[in-house]
Amino acid sequence: DQQVKQNSPSLSVQEGRISILNCDYTNSMFDYFLWYKKYPAEGPTFLISISSIKDKNEDGRFTVFLNKSAKHLSLHIVPSQPGDSAVYFCAASGDTGGFKTIFGAGTRLFVKA
């Protein structure tokens, strides 16, 4: 039972354009959402997060949008750069029993120069 789903295994975008990575969740108890970025041979690093009391959070080129009614969040990267090429994991946590964090399967982003 996948509580956090990233349905696109990969995404290819031209440098300078917008990258949109999507994530869906099923558990309405989730109240905090995070995006992590992972380069090959490295551990994931925290990128941006959003609390369920907000619908948008922005940090430089990265913006996360949350649509609670649709149980959907998205990460926008504008403008995309070749260095953004990595695997992006969506994650969710909440009072589901210990505040564990549940991760999606990841989306591999390719930004072409």
Partner 1 sequence: DVKVTQSSRYLVKRTGEKVFLECVQDMDHENMFWYRQDPGLGLRLIYFSYDVKMKEKGDIPEGYSVSREKKERFSLILESASTNQTSMYLCASSFQRTLLRTQYFGPGTRLLVL
Complex with partner 1: residue 20 or 48, whichever CB lies closer: 48
Q: Closest separation between CB of residue 10 and partner 1, Å?
A: 11
CB 64 within 8 A of CB 48: yes
Q: Which is nearer to partner 1, 83 or 98 (CB)?
A: 98
C-alpha of 2 from chain center: 15
Residue 89 binding partner 1, by CB under 8 A: yes
Task: Return the number of the residue (79 or 96) whose C-beta is nearest partner 1.
Answer: 96
Q: Is 53 in the site for partner 1 (CB under 8 A)?
A: no
Give yes or no for residue 7 binding partner 1 (CB under 8 A): no
> Binder to partner 1 among 11, 57, 101, 110 (CB under 8 A)?
101
Long-range contacts of 38-42 (CB under 8 A, 24+ apart): 38/86, 38/87, 38/88, 38/89, 38/106, 39/86, 39/87
Minimum distance from residue 33 beta carbon to partner 1 (Å): 10
In whole angstroms, give the CA distance from residue 67 to residue 56.
9
Smaller CB distance to partner 1: residue 39 or 58? Answer: 39
